[in-house]
Structure 1
C-alpha cells in the first residue's frame, strides 16, 4: 500500500531567533562594573546567594518537560481517541505531530485486514504513519515476516538499508523488532520502517516515497522515528 499524502502546503520550519545584541552603553557599564568590583565582588555575591535546594538521594534534578503549544495540544486531543487502548504505548510520542488520522470503520478510513482488529492511518508532512492492532501476536509476526522479505528487496531498491534487529524504541516505551524495508508501488519506490511491541499484538510503520519523500536517503526517516517512537 502506497503512502497517502495530503495536498496542503508544506509547513516550513520556524527560523531561529537572532542572537541578542549588546548596545554600546550596556557593554561600557559592564566593563566599569567589573573594574570596580573585580573578582572579589563576584565571590561576595556567590557567598551571599541562597544555596540550591538539596536533592534527595543524590539524584540530579530533572527539568520539567516543555509545555506543548496550542497546536500540539489540539492534535493530541484529536488523535488520542483513535489511538487508545492497545495502540496507546506505540503511538504516544507521535500524537502531537500527526494529522489527518482516520481509523478503520470510520468514513474514509483504512480497511483492516482479516487478521487485524484495528488500523489507523495518519499523515506527517511527506510521510504516512500506520498503527495496527492485530488479532493475535502470531498474526503480527506473520505480517512482520513480509517486511523481512522486503528488507532483502530494499538492498537493491534503497541502498544503505539497515539490518533487521530486535531493540527498544528510543523512548523506552516499547521493545520489539525494528525492520527497514522497501517495495514498488505504482512505478515508485516506497521506503518504510516497521517496529512492533513484543508484549502486545501491535505494530506501526512509517512510509515515504523513497525519492520524493525522503530524498533517496534513510537518514530523514530514521531521524523522525528516533524522535517520536
Structure 2
C-alpha cells in the first residue's frame, strides 16, 4: 500500500520593519507688523462756537468701535480659510485596487485557467504563489497534474489540478480515510460531507496528521481539502494545529469561506 505524502505546513514569513514616516514641518508664520498710528485729525471748529460735550464724544466713539469689531469677527468666522478643509474620501473602486492587483499577481502563477477560476475567490487574500514548474521543490503527488503553493500568514495553501476526475476521486477517498484516522489529533473536526458554498456544491474534507520528519517532527498539522464535484481541481489549506491555529478549526474555516 502506497503511503500518500502529506501536504506540509510552513511557518509564516517574517515581515520587515516599516520605517515610520516623519511628520511634515508646519510652514513658518510670518510675523505681522504692528499697525502704524494714525495721527488724530485736528479738531474742526463747530459753527457758532458750539463744542460737543466730552461725554457724548466718548459714547459715539465706543458705539462705532464696537460696530467695527463685530463686523471683523463676522468676516473672520465666515471666511472660507478659517474652516477646516474636508479630506476627500477614497472611492470604492480605489479601495479595491490592492485586492485586484494581488489577485492578478497570484493568478499569473496558476498554470491552468480552470484551476485559476476555481481559486479566484481566494486570490486576493493570499500571496507568494509559486507553481511546481518553478524551482520550488514542490512536485505533484499521485494523480496530480499541477500543484501551486501559496501562503496566507499562518496558513499554507495548495491549488491542485488532477489528470482527470478519477484521480481527483481517488485523492478524495485518501483524505476521507485520513480524516477517520486523525479525529484525536485535532478535536472538533467536521465529518467529510458535500458542502454548499453560495450556489456551488463542493466536496470538503477536514483531516490532520503529524509531521513525520524534519524540524517540526511530531507536530500536528490541520488541513482542509475541497473540490468542485464537476472538475478535477482542488484546494488544500494547512496550518500547525497548536502554534498556528491555537488548537481551533475556526481560523482555517474562516479563510476557506470565500465570503468571509
Q: Spell out, residue by residue over 1:6-43, the C-alpha distance to the aligned partner (whole angstroms, 9 max, x if none).
A: 432399xxxxxxxxxxxxxxxxxxxxxxxxxxxxxxxx
- Between 205-214 and 106-115, the greater mean CA deviation after superposition: 106-115
1:114 positional shift: 4.6
Between 139-148 and 81-90, report the one with greater CA deviation: 81-90
- Distance, in Å, in 2 between the alignment partners of 1:78 and 1:109 is 21
Residue 4 of structure 1 is aligned with which of 7, 10, 13?
10
Within a 5 Å distance, the mapping from 1:118-137 to structure 2 comes to 118-137=146-165
Cα distance per residue 1:69-120 (max 9 Å; x no partner)? 4432321121112234111232111111111100011122521125211100
Query: Post-superposition shift, 1:227?
Result: 3.5
SS of equivalent to 1:157: coil
Q: Could you say what secondary structure the match of 1:180 adopts?
A: strand
Match of 1:177 in 2: 203
1:49 is matched with which residue? none
In the superposition, the TM-score normalised over structure 1's length comes to: 0.69
Report how many residues are paired: 175
For the aligned residues, what is the CA RMSD?
2.4
Deviations 1:114-149 (A, max 9, x none): 521110010000001111000011101111111111
Secondary structure at 1:211 match in 2: coil
Hey, what does 1:226 align to over in structure 2? 257
- Counterpart of 1:104? 132
Q: 2:93 and 2:178 mapped to 1: Cα distance?
A: 39
- Structure 1 residue 68 displacement after superposition: 4.5
SS of the residue corresponding to residue 124 of structure 2 reads helix
Residue ranges of structure 2 left out of the alignment (5+ in a row): 1-6, 18-91, 212-216
SS at match of 2:101: helix
Do the aligned partners of 1:190 and 1:210 also contact (CA within 8 Å) in 2?
Answer: yes
**SS across alignment from 1:190:** strand
- Asked whether the 8 Å contact 1:103–1:120 carries over to 2, the reply is yes
Q: TM-score normalized by structure 2?
A: 0.61
Task: Using the TM superposition, give the Cα deviation of residue 199 of structure 1 relative to its aligned residue in structure 2, in angstroms.
Answer: 0.9
Choose 117-126 or 70-79, whichever is displaced more.
70-79
- Which residue is 1:79 aligned to? 106
Given the alignment, which residue of 203, 210, 216 partners 2:241?
A: 210
- Evaluate the alpha carbon distance shift between residue 72 and residue 148 of structure 1 in structure 2; reply closer, same or farther with a 3 A threshold: same
Moved >6 Å (runs of 4+): none
Q: Which blocks of at least 5 consecutive residues in structure 1 are unaligned?
A: 12-64
Structure 1 residues 7 and 204: CA distance shift in structure 2, 3 A: same
Q: Structure 1 residues 167 and 66, CA, compared in 2 at 3 Å: closer, same or farther?
A: farther
CA contact (8 A) 1:151 1:179 kept: yes
Greater helix proportion = 1
Which of these two proteins has the greater Rg computed from alpha carbons? 2
* Alpha-carbon distance change, 73 to 175 in structure 1, aligned in 2, over 3 angstroms: same
